[in-house]
Structure 1
Amino acid sequence: MYTAIGYAAQSSTSPLAPMSFQRRSLRPDDVFIEILYCGVCHSDIHQARNEWGIAVYPLMPGHEIVGRVSAVGGQVTRHQVGDLVGVGCMVDSCRHCEACRQNVEQYCLEGPTMTYATPDRVDGSNTLGGYSSSIVVSEHFVLRIPQGLEPASAAPILCAGITTYSPLKHHGVGPGHKVGVLGMGGLGHMGIKFAKALGAEVTLFTRSAAKAEEARRQGADHVVVSTDAEQMRAAAGRFDFLLDTIPVQHDLNPYLETLKFGGVHILVGLIEPVEPPLHAANLVMQRRVLAGSLIGGIAETQEVLEFCAEHGISCDIEMLDIRNINQAYERMIAGDVKYRFVIDMATLQA
């Protein structure tokens, strides 16, 4: 067993606070990682406050993890001591169902083991995430951080990055396509970068005209202010794909009308139920598709890391002292971060 320290919530109403705990001893295929950086995702807040009704306490968030390997199990072949590695949203799956065999473990038919707040498949213990000094993970779910990626800004690629890259790749986005990205937070700004790097013409849909200059800096070719009825009418029937990163309930109907016939509106946020109701005619009359997408498999997550290194893509981050994590949560809720907090784990020892 390894003694670790981290920040955890003890209940849905308690703030995150320091906690000492035990990481398991290495299994034959395990990698022990000393954590250097961990991104802060909005889903961390949902889970810590049990807003999805599935939290298990103590709950230690964190699934955008970058660190160094400090020990390996006897059967490990992919990683060695000293390697710079990452761990994303999953730490295990059944590995034998149809989804796992297709390398899309996020859709494991028996349910993936998430990096935190999920029972370990071997001993049943509650997984504890990356707001901590270390983590032990099966080598299959450990990613290699390529040379050329700055470690801190690489951390959010393991969630915000793969969440936006995976649907663009799955739906074949490329040169000649017109892509609209809805929202420009942690996910949206990465979606803009990826769609542009894949060769698409990219438009940001935003409620704020003040974001136009920033959107173009991120790579957007155009900006549509969604609260401007005239701009939305002018956008009707223009887009092949919409990547919807808006994290709260919103009216999908005006956006669907901006798709070409056969266009695809991709949801990556858990906004259920859809409210206000969807007008079926917006789909049926133009053979449009409303699709969903959840993170990405391990092979595709490695692919997006390599893609980012090749194209010079990184997440825009603000470094965070872990002692300020509760204030950071409030700032995230207020939209006061561009675009992702990343915890410097050196502050855990301070």
Structure 2
Amino acid sequence: MTTHTITTFRFDAASAKFVKKTAQRALGLNEVKIKVTHSGICYTDVHAKDKACGLGHEGVGLITDIGANVTSMKPGDRVGWGWLRSSCGNCSACLDGYRQYCAQASGFAFCDHDQGAFADYHIIDADFAYQLPAEIPSWQAGVFMCAGASTYEALHAAGTKPHHRVGVVGLGGLGHMAVLFAKAMGCAVTVFSGSAPKAARDAFELGADECRILSNINTPIRSFGVHEQKALVDVLLICANETPDLDKILPFLARRATIVLMSIQQKPLIIPYMPFVLPGHRIIASTEASRQNHLAMIQFAARHRITPWVERFLMTEDGLKTAFDRLEKGEMRYRGVLEVPPAGI
């Protein structure tokens, strides 16, 4: 069986540097080999740094080889992939199309530790790669593989309709994509942010109708032409790194609102009981996108020309260091993308 050499960046804690590690990998019957051109960078990569694994899970590139059983893709196809890499395929969650909730689902940093998207090549099961339309340039596509897919899935899981007002807590990598998608769906949008005035300026430029700063939540900042006395939120996406004080936010929810938890955190969730129960609110969780919604999201983004806010870096040791520094300091606006440098650089 032919083996393929793959070189991936990982973080070496002893030297506090990003280093390359080379591994040999066979191409499975149902897998594709991809020459990486770009990869998004996500806070999940920060969490994974200490695992000494291949980093990156928002990859984009061109297929160079396919396994013997692959019929849906061919060499030369441009594809992307996200966090999820495998599931059992037979449980009720998988059969319903929600393989991200499979008890045996595994993804980046928990599946193949020798691989990541910060690499020269990547091998993955063809069912976990997604063909990209020409309307989405490669330097933007990685953002849709994680932040885009996650926020689109969350809006779908909440049953979001065009007449709804969507609330977005946290205007970061996830939050800014939530604003872009919600506006493209025809919704009004209120951003709840912990910082001002930059957050308000950015929120309105992204298309939001209202911004509320959590430290002064009762005083709304509204864009021109919006005159509601108190616009109540039907769907609330928690996109911040930590769940906010729900005591503050619940008064701004419409009756029977849906709260969607998207943050990755370890702190317990505290819910004010009666203010939550009496209006008939509900809380749901949403993580990765189903394959169907991942594909639908890509087509939706292409049709509406959704453009994420991206900072671009070279996929080099220096480029990774700069990108991670900005991300960990909260300075990234709003998503970082690494680009494989031209030959010779």
- Using the size of structure 1 for normalisation, the TM-score is 0.89
Write out aligned runs for 1:1-350 (5 A): 1-11=3-13, 14-22=16-24, 24-49=25-50, 55=51, 58-110=52-104, 112-114=105-107, 116-119=108-111, 126=113, 128-207=115-194, 208-231=196-219, 238-274=232-268, 277-322=270-315, 323=317, 324-346=319-341, 350=345
Per-residue deviation at 1:212? 1.7
Structure-2 separation of matches of 1:89 and 1:271 = 17
Alpha-carbon spacing, 1:80–1:228, altered in 2? closer, same or farther (3 Å): same
Supply the AA of the counterpart residue of 1:311: H
Per-residue deviation at 1:229? 4.3
Per-residue deviation at 1:172? 1.7
Structure-1 separation of matches of 2:29 and 2:248 = 53
Secondary structure class of the residue paired with 1:314 = coil
Indicate conservation of the 8 Å contact 2:55/2:116, yes or no. yes
Structure-1 separation of matches of 2:265 and 2:133 = 33
Indicate conservation of the 8 Å contact 1:98/1:109, yes or no. no
Secondary structure class of the residue paired with 2:17 = coil
TM-superposition CA deviations, 1:33-88 (whole Å, max 9, x none): 00000000001001113xxxxx4xx3111111100000111111111010000111
What percent identity do the matched residue pairs reach? 27
Alpha-carbon spacing, 1:12–1:39, altered in 2? closer, same or farther (3 Å): farther
Supply the AA of the counterpart residue of 1:278: I
Secondary structure class of the residue paired with 1:203 = strand
Where does structure 2 lack aligned partners over 5 or more consecutive residues?
Answer: 221-227
Secondary structure class of the residue paired with 1:341 = strand
Structure-2 separation of matches of 1:283 and 1:98 = 31
Where does structure 1 lack aligned partners over 5 or more consecutive residues?
Answer: 50-54, 121-125
Per-residue deviation at 1:147? 1.6
Structure-1 separation of matches of 2:189 and 2:8 = 40
Supply the AA of the counterpart residue of 2:110: T
Number of matched pairs: 333
Supply the AA of the counterpart residue of 2:335: R
Supply the AA of the counterpart residue of 2:324: Y
Supply the AA of the counterpart residue of 2:201: E
Structure 1 match to 2:224: none
- Using the size of structure 2 for normalisation, the TM-score is 0.91
Indicate conservation of the 8 Å contact 2:238/2:261, yes or no. yes
Alpha-carbon spacing, 1:199–1:132, altered in 2? closer, same or farther (3 Å): same
Structure-1 separation of matches of 2:114 and 2:254 = 44
Secondary structure class of the residue paired with 1:118 = coil
Please say which of residues 166-175 and 245-254 is displaced more in the overlay. 245-254
Indicate conservation of the 8 Å contact 2:190/2:233, yes or no. no
Structure 1 match to 2:223: none
Indicate conservation of the 8 Å contact 2:9/2:116, yes or no. no
Structure-1 separation of matches of 2:344 and 2:273 = 55
Secondary structure class of the residue paired with 1:159 = helix
TM-superposition CA deviations, 1:129-180 (whole Å, max 9, x none): 1111111111111100012111110111010001111010122212211111
Structure-2 separation of matches of 1:88 and 1:34 = 15
TM-superposition CA deviations, 1:191-217 (whole Å, max 9, x none): 001111111111111122332222111
Alpha-carbon spacing, 1:280–1:7, altered in 2? closer, same or farther (3 Å): same
Indicate conservation of the 8 Å contact 1:8/1:19, yes or no. yes
Supply the AA of the counterpart residue of 2:142: A
Structure-2 separation of matches of 1:235 and 1:153 = 37
Indicate conservation of the 8 Å contact 2:212/2:218, yes or no. no
Alpha-carbon spacing, 1:349–1:42, altered in 2? closer, same or farther (3 Å): farther
Per-residue deviation at 1:274? 3.1
Structure-2 separation of matches of 1:249 and 1:32 = 39
Aligned CA RMSD, in angstroms, stands at 2.0
Supply the AA of the counterpart residue of 1:340: R
Per-residue deviation at 1:14? 3.8
Per-residue deviation at 1:236? 6.8
Supply the AA of the counterpart residue of 2:147: A
Secondary structure class of the residue paired with 2:219 = helix
Supply the AA of the counterpart residue of 2:109: A
Structure-2 separation of matches of 1:29 and 1:316 = 34
Secondary structure class of the residue paired with 2:341 = helix
Indicate conservation of the 8 Å contact 2:180/2:207, yes or no. yes
